[in-house]
Amino acid sequence: MARGDKTRFVCQACGTVHPKWQGRCEGCGEWNTLAEEAPAPARGPGPAAKAGGGRRVEFVGLKGESAPPPRIPTGIAELDRVLGGGLVAASAVLVGGDPGIGKSTILLQAAARVASSGRRVLYVSGEEAVEQVRLRAARLGLTESPMALAAATALRDIVASLEGESDAALVVIDSIQTVWLDALESAPGTVAQVRACAAELIRLAKARGFAIVLVGHVTKEGTLAGPRVLEHMVDATLYFEGDRGHQFRILRAVKNRFGATDEIGVFEMTGTGLVEVANPSALFLAERRGNVSGSAVFAGIEGTRPVLVEVQALLSPSSGGSPRRQVVGWDSGRLSMLLAVLEARCGMSLGQNDVYLNIAGGLRINEPAADLAVAAALVSAATDRPTDAGAVYFGEVGLSGEVRQVSQPEPRLREAAKLGFSAATLPRRVARGGKAPAPPQGLVLHETGHLADLVAVFAEKTVKPRRAGP
Residue 212 predicted with pLDDT over 90: yes
Residue 157 predicted with pLDDT over 50: yes
Q: Pick the closest to residue 421 from 387, 391, 388 (CA basis).
A: 391
- The backbone torsions φ and ψ at residue 291, rounded to the nearest 5 degrees and listed phi first, read -105, 20
Q: Is 457 inside a domain boundary? A: yes
Lowest mean per-residue pLDDT among 110-124, 154-168, 271-285, 358-372: 271-285
> Residue 31: pLDDT band by 50, 70, 90 thresholds?
confident
Q: What is the pTM of this model?
A: 0.76
Task: Identify the pLDDT of residue 54.
Answer: 80
Q: pLDDT over 90 for what percent of the chain?
A: 55
Q: Is 28 inside a domain boundary? A: yes
Task: Identify the pLDDT of residue 245.
Answer: 67
In the annotated binding site, the residues are 97-104
Residues 6+ apart with CB under 8 A from 265: 78, 79, 81, 82, 250, 251, 276
- When pLDDT is averaged across residues 368-385 and rounded to a whole number, the result is 95
Q: Is 230 inside a domain boundary? A: yes
Query: 467, 392 in Cβ contact below 8 A?
Result: no
Q: Is 63 inside a domain boundary? A: no
> Residue 463: pLDDT band by 50, 70, 90 thresholds?
very low
User: What is the total count of domains within the chain?
Assistant: 3
Q: Is 55 inside a domain boundary? A: no
- How far apart are the C-alpha atoms of 324 and 339, rounded to whole Å? 13
Q: Output DSSP code: residue 176.
A: G
H-run or E-run covering 423: strand 423-427
Strand partners, 266: 250
Residues 6+ apart with CB under 8 A from 156: 181, 182
Domain that residue 15 falls in:
3-39
Strand partners, 326: 356
Residues 376 and 227 in one domain: no
Q: Is 66 inside a domain boundary? A: no
pLDDT, the chain, mean? 86
- Write the DSSP assignment of 268-317 as a string of letters: EEETTEEEE-S-HHHHHTTT--TTSTTEEEEEEEETTEEEEEEEEEEEEE
- When pLDDT is averaged across residues 153-180 and rounded to a whole number, the result is 94
Residue 138 predicted with pLDDT over 60: yes
Residues 261 and 307 in one domain: no
* pLDDT digit string, tens, across residues 53-106: 688 889 988 888 877 778 999 999 999 999 999 999 999 999 988 888 889 999
Residues 175 and 290 in one domain: no
Residues 210 and 258 in one domain: yes
* pLDDT digit string, tens, across residues 392-416: 999 999 999 999 999 999 999 999 9
Task: Identify the pLDDT of residue 361.
Answer: 80
In the annotated binding site for ATP, the residues are 97-104
> Residue 283: pLDDT band by 50, 70, 90 thresholds?
confident
Query: 240, 250 in Cβ contact below 8 A?
Result: yes
Residues 21 and 145 in one domain: no
Residues 269 and 290 in one domain: no
Task: Identify the pLDDT of residue 198.
Answer: 94
Of the candidates 253, 277, 301, which is a domain's last residue?
Answer: 277
Residues 258 and 374 in one domain: no
Task: Identify the pLDDT of residue 35.
Answer: 80
Residues 398 and 415 in one domain: yes
Residues 301 and 409 in one domain: yes
Q: pLDDT over 70 for what percent of the chain?
A: 89
> Residue 464: pLDDT band by 50, 70, 90 thresholds?
very low
Compute and round to an integer the Cα radius of gyration of the chain.
Answer: 27
Q: Is 90 inside a domain boundary? A: yes
Q: In 214-230, which positions are buried (b, 16+ CB within 10 angstroms) versus exposed (e)?
A: bbbbbeeeebbbbbeeb
Where residue 152 sits, what CATH number does that domain have? 3.40.50.300
Where residue 456 sits, what CATH number does that domain have? 3.30.230.10
- Cα–Cα separations (whole angstroms), residue 18 to 109, 222, 231: 42, 24, 22
H-run or E-run covering 400: none
Residues 366 and 251 in one domain: no
Residues 6+ apart with CB under 8 A from 143: 134, 137
Residue 27 predicted with pLDDT over 60: yes
* pLDDT digit string, tens, across residues 216-239: 877 555 455 554 668 889 999 998
Q: Is 177 inside a domain boundary? A: yes
Task: Identify the pLDDT of residue 367.
Answer: 92
Residues 210 and 102 in one domain: yes
Residues 264 and 288 in one domain: no
Residue 8 predicted with pLDDT over 50: yes
